[in-house]
Structure formats: C-alpha cells, structure tokens
Amino acid sequence: MSRLVVVSNRVADPRKTAAGGLAVALADVLNSTGGMWFGWSGKVIEAADGGKPGEARQHTQQAGPVKLVTLDLSREDHDAFYVGYSNGVLWPVFHYRLDLADFDAGYVAGYRRVNQLFARKLKPLLQPDDVVWVHDYHLIPLAAELRALGCGHRIGYFLHIPLPPSLIMAAIPGHDWLIRALFAYDLVGFQSRGDLRHFDRYVEAEAGAQRLGDDGRWRAFNRTVQACAFPIGIDVEEFQALTDAPEAREMFERMRKEYSRRKLLVGVDRLDYSKGLPQRLKAFRELLKSYPEHRDSATLIQIASPSREDVTAYTDILHELESLCGSINGNFGELDWMPVRYIHRTVARPRLPGLYRASRVGVVTPLRDGMNLVAKEFIAAQDPADPGVLVLSRFAGVAEQLPDALLVNPYDIEGTANAIHLALTMPVEERRVRHQSQMAVIKKYDVHWWCQSFLDTLAKAEAEVTGTPWLRL
C-alpha cells in the first residue's frame, strides 16, 4: 500500500488536541492511516538569530504512527507568505472580503518563495510510490513547484476554504497563475458543490479549459485535472466518545446546574471576521429587544479563540466584539443574569461536547465558511431524546448538507433573531425529527468518508508523466 504524505501549513501533533478544523480533521485521518505530515512548525526565526528568506530549519519527530516533519520559517518569509499573501490576500478574497485584502506586491514573491522552499525540502523525503495530499490556500502552487523539480507522484489538493466566483477571483492581481497552478495536481477537491461550480465556470471562461466527460475532468495548459466536491466531516464516533467521557459529562452537569433556570445558546469560533461574530451579537441583542420573554433567561456563551493576531483585520474585530458584549450586558444585564458570556481563549476540545450538549441552541452564523466543523460537532453531541437546535448560516459550506437546520442569512439581523426565537421555543418532537435527519448526514459523510473518497478518487485519477516546461509558473 502507498504511504500517505500530507502537506499543510499547520501541522499538529495528532496525539494532542488542536483548534482549527483542518488540524483536527487531518490528525484524525493520519492517526488511522499512519504516514508523514509535512508543514510549518509554527516557529519563526528572527533575522538576528540567523533567519534568512528562502531557508528553513527542519525538525523530524515520530508521533505514534505519524512522522512529523516541520520547518521553522524566517521572519521575512513568515510575514510575506503567511501574514501577507495567505491571510492578507487569499483568505479575505476567497471569503468574498475584497475590502480587507492588501495586494502588496512583495507578498506574492514571499508566497512563491516559501512554496519553492517546501518543494525543495519535501522532494528528497518522498518515496517512489508515495501519494501526496496537499491542503489549503497556503500551498496552491506546491505541486507545480514539485513537478518543476521532476516529481511525478500522484498529487491531490484540497481547498478547505470557499472558492469565490470568477469576478471576485479576478480582483487578485495575476489571479490566472493561481488557477493554472491547480492544473499541476491530479485531483482538486472542494468543500461544496457551490465552490466546484465556481471552479468549473472559472476554468471554462477564463482559462479556456475543455470539459472531458462528466466526472469532473478538465483539460488545459497541456494537463488534465479532475475537480470534485468532498465535504469534510468529523469523526462522529470519536466525538460521541468524547461526549460520554468524564470531562464532558462533568462540564455538562456543571452547565446544567449553573443554568437550570435559563436556556443556553452557544457559539464556538476562531476570532475571525469571516465567522460573523458582530452580526451574531447584534442578532442576540435584537432577540432580547423584540422578544422580552427571553430576558433574564437566554444566555449566549461565545467562545472566540484567538487567531492570526498579527493581521490587522483580526485586532479590529476583537475591539468591535468587546464593545458589543459590554453594551449588551450593560443594557440588558441584571444583578443575577449576564446575557453574554464572552470567552477570548481557546477551550480544549474535550470540554466542548459537554457545553454543546447543555445548550438549547447552537449558533453557527459565519458570513462565509468553507465547511464549519463546529456545526457538525454540535449535532453529534446532542441527546437524541432532547436535542438542541442548530441555527446555521446559509453561507457556510455545511448548509448544503444540513437543510434541516434553521438556515439564516447572517447579514439579516432581524431574520436571525427570529430564527433564534424559533429555536428557543421549538417543541421537542420537531427538534427530534430535525436532529435525526442531520445526524444521518453527518454519520454518512464523516471524516473517514471524506478521506477515503478523496484518496480513492485520487488513486483512480489519470496521472500524467510530468516535468514539462508548462509547469514553470
């Protein structure tokens, strides 16, 4: 059997828990298959300590069945590649936020440089029949760089974030090279059918690609690539076991006791402008205004785990949130009731199931999201006899799979408040029916299905002998 080599910017020890959907999902996959996980160590070397652009310190360690190989990046590379191009250009544009993009010309050079560095460091570690699976927006050109070094392996790519329509993509200076780079892969996977449609339209209209049959294959730039949707899932069994574990049970009991007179709403997100947190708080404020019966009762626990604090847009949103929470508590709070409990820390994953289960409503209302695993975890943690209700943004990838959630437009503050009211007052019979159908979907399309279906499709994809000049971007 071929060895699986996973490449992603963020690498986590699969024996430990991590915040962020990608790290959680890949740790689950690699723990069961074994193999190698290659990426950034999370460490930055300052110039004064010898950090030089295009160079890296490499570390190798064995973590159970998984070999972890990580690189420390120089400050200059980190700032241009991670902060600059990945999170200052690709993240906002791919989440439809052109207003937040910073198209500094220096960033793209750093992005290319780090992708070349990854390719140079990875190539000598590859065995002939390895299957390489590259993840996410940080590493779009990695296959092209590997091919340029003569790498003929099967290489697949999965984009964890949304792919926007062509006209939004077109705002990125030189956007066409990004899509051309995707043609160096044998298989490209997206989270949703909507993202796949955007890819299809882009390659047809902007790259003159030719569709080959109805299995997602496209021909352009002298290469064939197959593009399909593979919605990522969670490990439902593992999550349910976490829900039954003492830590989650203890959390559940504590929350139930503490909030016995009240109804809990829960939100769990990285503190990211794509997650729609200010809009969510405004919807909660609107709920308290329009439906006074929920005053002194409904309590929103919002966990906002710190993320990308070196990007300005993330510090701006932090201040906005703090001020909204303060004003809601100031205006509506009572001596014995605070409407919002805002926690700006990462909560260890084993503690989340108990919190989800004690909550009557899960509020997952991103303005855009590739998938959103929290929505699936919330469903998996519920008691089927007395389940909570999911209020879900129609703009999260997961909405395609969960039409029985209460779907909302997060920009519509009143509409979202009405949906939360509906969730808080929904009779148990209806809650059970909705929960049952959502549970069936997340069980069927779990993380094992995601991994297996991607890797099976990759194994069958047409792999071409490469190394030709088109690979030079």
Ligand X SMILES: O=P(O)(O)OC[C@H]1O[C@H](O[C@H]2O[C@H](CO)[C@@H](O)[C@H](O)[C@H]2O)[C@H](O)[C@@H](O)[C@@H]1O
What is the set of active-site residues? 160, 369
Question: Which residue(s) pair with 265 in the sheet?
Answer: 300, 361
Contacts to ligand UDP from residues 300-329, by CB under 6 A? 303, 305
CA–CA separation, 78 vs 87, rounded Å? 11
Instruction: Please tell me whether residue 268 binds ligand UDP under the rule CB under 6 A.
Output: yes
Residue 369 has what DSSP assignment?
Answer: B
Considering only 159, 373, 399, 441, the residue that binds ligand UDP (CB under 6 A) is 373
- CB closer to ligand X out of 35 and 366: 366
By CB under 6 A, which span of 17-25, 45-53, 174-182, 436-444 interacts with ligand X?
17-25
| Interacting partner of 305 out of ligand X, ligand UDP, none (Cβ under 5 to 8 A depending on kind) | ligand UDP
Pick the binder of ligand UDP from 349, 432, 443, 448 (CB under 6 A). 349
Give the C-alpha separation, 36 to 5, whole Å.
Answer: 5
19 is a contact residue toward ligand UDP (CB under 6 A): yes
What are the two backbone dihedrals, phi and then psi, of residue 48, each rounded to the nearest 5 degrees?
-65, -25
How far is residue 77's CA from residue 82's CA, in Å, rounded to a whole number?
A: 8
Two tokens, residue 9: 């910017």
Query: Does 339 participate in binding ligand X (rule CB under 6 A)?
Result: no
CA distance 202 to 246: 50
Residue 10 lies near ligand X (rule: CB under 6 A): yes
Query: Does 232 sit near ligand X (CB under 6 A)?
Result: yes
Q: Which of residues 280-319 bind ligand X (CB under 6 A)?
A: 307-308
Which residue in the set 4, 6, 11, 22 belongs to the binding site for ligand X (CB under 6 A)?
A: 22
Element (H, E) at 441: helix 428-444
- Is residue 169 within 8 A of residue 202, CB to CB? The reply is yes
In which element (H, E) is residue 244 found?
helix 236-244
In the set 110, 233, 354, 370, which binds ligand X (CB under 6 A)? 370
Could you tell me the two tokens for 203?
A: 């390659």
Any contact of residue 217 with ligand X (CB under 6 A)? no
In whole angstroms, how close is the CB of 304 to ligand UDP at the nearest point?
8
Q: Which of 156, 199, 29, 164 is nearest to 463 (CA)?
A: 156
Say which entry of ligand X, ligand UDP, none residue 308 contacts (CB below 5 to 8 A, set by partner kind): ligand X
Smallest gap, in angstroms, from Cβ of residue 309 to ligand UDP? 14
Instruction: Provide the angle, in degrees to the nearest 10, between the axes of the packed helices 246-258 and 236-244.
Output: 60
> Considering CB under 6 A, how many residues would be counted as binding ligand X?
17
CA dist., res. 438 & res. 238, Å (int):
17
CB of 72 to ligand UDP, least distance (A): 23
Of these, 2, 13, 17, 20, which contacts ligand X (CB under 6 A)? 20
Return the H-helix or E-strand segment holding 61. Answer: strand 56-63
Shortest distance (Å) from residue 92 CB to ligand X: 13
User: Does 71 contact ligand X by CB under 6 A?
Assistant: no
Size of site (CB under 6 A) for ligand UDP: 18
d(Cα 386, Cα 365) in Å, to the nearest integer? 23
Nearer to ligand UDP, 268 or 413 (CB): 268
Residue 44 sits in the site that holds ligand X (CB under 6 A): no
Please tell me whether residue 372 binds ligand UDP under the rule CB under 6 A: yes
CA-CA distance, 31 to 41, in Å (whole number)? 19
User: Exposed e or buried b for every residue in 281-306, given b needs 16+ CB within 10 A?
Assistant: bbbbbbbbeebeebebebbbbbbbbe
Task: Using the rule CB under 6 A, give the single segment among 20-28, 219-227, 406-414, 417-425 that binds ligand X.
Answer: 20-28
Site track for ligand X across 134-173, x = CB under 6 A: --x-----------------------xx------------
Residue 30 touches which of ligand UDP, ligand X, none (Cβ within 5-8 Å per kind): none
Among 170, 229, 347, 459, the residue binding ligand UDP under the rule CB under 6 A is 347
Q: Which residue is nearest to ligand X (CB)?
A: 21
Q: How far is CA 115 from CA 7, 108, 187, in A?
A: 11, 11, 19
With b meaning 16 or more CB within 10 Å and e meaning fewer, what string describes 258-271?
A: ebeeebbbbbbbbb
User: Where on the chain is the footprint of ligand X (CB under 6 A)?
Assistant: 10, 20-23, 25, 136, 160-161, 232, 307-308, 369-373
User: Where on the chain is the footprint of ligand UDP (CB under 6 A)?
Assistant: 19-22, 24, 268, 270, 303, 305, 346-347, 349, 352, 371-374, 377
